[in-house]
Structure 1
Amino acid sequence: MRKPRILLADDHRMVAEGLRGLLEPGYQLVEIVEDGRALLEAANRLMPDVVVADVSMPLLNGIEAVRQLKKNNPSIAVVFLTMHLDVAYAASALEAGAAGYVLKHSAPSELLTAIACALKGQTYITPMLVGELLSYQRNRPQGETEGGLARLTARQREVLQLIAEGRSVKEAAAVLGISTRTVEFHKYSMMEALGLKSSAELMRFAVEHGIK
């Protein structure tokens, strides 16, 4: 019987290699990538059954990468494996289309359970966050998703992450394959949309919303 195919995305290579031993007895690990843009490229090329991804990754964070992935490949299941014990991250992960949210310091069996649930079309959230997540979603104002982030386009969020990583306008333009003028346009469009008056305020917004 064919083993389900898994794509692993984590910028900590030692973590990724450790997960290889956990996953390979029951799954085919098709590739390990280290940033969100590589995740998108590999997922489109390999069409795995499940993506296991970290939230914090360079170039494109896991949540934004999965949001883009699910638009083009809704059948690919996604499980987040992360250090972030934060209900807001878990809520954002589900809104992006994830089927699982597991903490890196959880028991290894929890990740395997989450993957099994994802393959069945079910959702698994680490028990440490379930109650808090339900309360968070219940008490959030109707229609609110990710606050100011919801006012930004996908491209603007990509630019914001690169700026938050400390990349120059020229470097961000090279990564995204656009002109420096276009990067500047997105930067100031974001400031206008968010009501921010300086680059420092934009950086602070990125940090407060976990864009890194």
Structure 2
Amino acid sequence: MREQRAAARILIADDHQLLADACKSLLEPEFSVVGIVTDGRHLADAVAEFKPDIIILDVYMPRLNGLDAGEQVKQKNPGIKLVFLTMTLAADVAAEAFRRGASGFVLKQSAGDELLLAVRKVNRGESYLSPLIAKETVTFLLNKREPFTEEKRITKRQSEILQLLAEGLSMKQVASVIDVKPGTVAFHKYRMMETLNISTNAELLGYAIKHQMISS
């Protein structure tokens, strides 16, 4: 008698607890949901603790957005598969997700069966893109090989600080979250403004929204 293969281990990262719980109910018992985290900053620790095969994550998450958090996970754990579950229909965001290592991109407004289909395909080593997003457009953007170019002009640390500032944290609060001195946060903030040629906090906020760090 052939030994039954263990169910794939899934970690869910979404700041909406009700949605995360609904996803868990949908995926079990076919898959083993090993944990739920509610912000991108705790994702790396959860990966180390739960050792998932697949992560289902949102693009927009507090403390660290899903694109950056997912990319960090893939750099350290290339075998883990990422499935983005999000509200955004933007093809450039889908392309950026795949560029950073995603295997699937599903919309929250789709039926639950679509998420299940996506996870099954990704678990088999295939990729999945919601049919509500034009595949040709995503392919075109991927082939251009141009990531969010302006975002690449600031460092990962600066991107991290910018998201926290855009979420409304003070420089002192940001310093506490990322464990640096407030002066270091101020230094990075003004270097960003200089690099991006912007002069106001409102422009910084607009930049964060444009680059999917926070929702509009």
TM-score (norm 2): 0.91
Q: What secondary structure, in the 3-state scheme, does the structure 2 residue paired with 1:147 have?
A: coil
Looking at structure 2, the residues matched to 145 and 95 of structure 1 have their Cα atoms a distance apart, in angstroms, of: 8
Deviation at 1:128, TM superposition (A): 1.4
Aligned residue in 2 for 1:81? 85
Aligned residue in 1 for 2:139? 134
Looking at structure 2, the residues matched to 79 and 122 of structure 1 have their Cα atoms a distance apart, in angstroms, of: 11
Q: What secondary structure, in the 3-state scheme, does the structure 2 residue paired with 1:90 have?
A: helix
Deviation at 1:147, TM superposition (A): 2.2
Deviation at 1:143, TM superposition (A): 4.9
Aligned residue in 2 for 1:124? 128
Looking at structure 2, the residues matched to 133 and 52 of structure 1 have their Cα atoms a distance apart, in angstroms, of: 20
Looking at structure 2, the residues matched to 143 and 18 of structure 1 have their Cα atoms a distance apart, in angstroms, of: 36
1:39 to 22, 38, 43: 43
Amino acid across the alignment from 2:86: T
Looking at structure 2, the residues matched to 136 and 78 of structure 1 have their Cα atoms a distance apart, in angstroms, of: 19
Amino acid across the alignment from 2:84: F
Deviation at 1:72, TM superposition (A): 0.6
RMSD over aligned Cα atoms: 1.4
Aligned-residue sequence identity (percent) comes to: 43
Q: What are the equivalent positions in structure 2 for 1:8-157 lying under 5 Å apart?
A: 8-129=12-133, 130-137=135-142, 142-157=144-159
Deviations 1:124-180 (A, max 9, x none): 111111233234445xxx552112111121111110100110110011111111111
Structure 2: 5+ residue stretches without partners: none
Looking at structure 1, the residues matched to 34 and 142 of structure 2 have their Cα atoms a distance apart, in angstroms, of: 35
Looking at structure 1, the residues matched to 21 and 145 of structure 2 have their Cα atoms a distance apart, in angstroms, of: 40
Q: Give yes or no for contact 2:59–2:212 (8 Å, CA) kept in 1.
A: no
Deviations 1:74-122 (A, max 9, x none): 1110100111111121111111111100001112222122212222332
Q: Give yes or no for contact 2:10–2:55 (8 Å, CA) kept in 1.
A: yes
Amino acid across the alignment from 2:137: E
Structure 1: 5+ residue stretches without partners: none
Looking at structure 1, the residues matched to 191 and 126 of structure 2 have their Cα atoms a distance apart, in angstroms, of: 38
Q: What secondary structure, in the 3-state scheme, does the structure 1 residue paired with 2:12 have?
A: strand
Q: Give yes or no for contact 2:95–2:139 (8 Å, CA) kept in 1.
A: no
Q: What secondary structure, in the 3-state scheme, does the structure 1 residue paired with 2:34 have?
A: strand
Amino acid across the alignment from 1:4: A
How many residue pairs end up in the alignment?
Answer: 209
Q: Which segment is superposed worse, 143-152 or 156-165?
A: 143-152
Q: Which segment is superposed worse, 74-83 or 150-159?
A: 150-159
Q: What secondary structure, in the 3-state scheme, does the structure 2 residue paired with 1:99 have?
A: strand
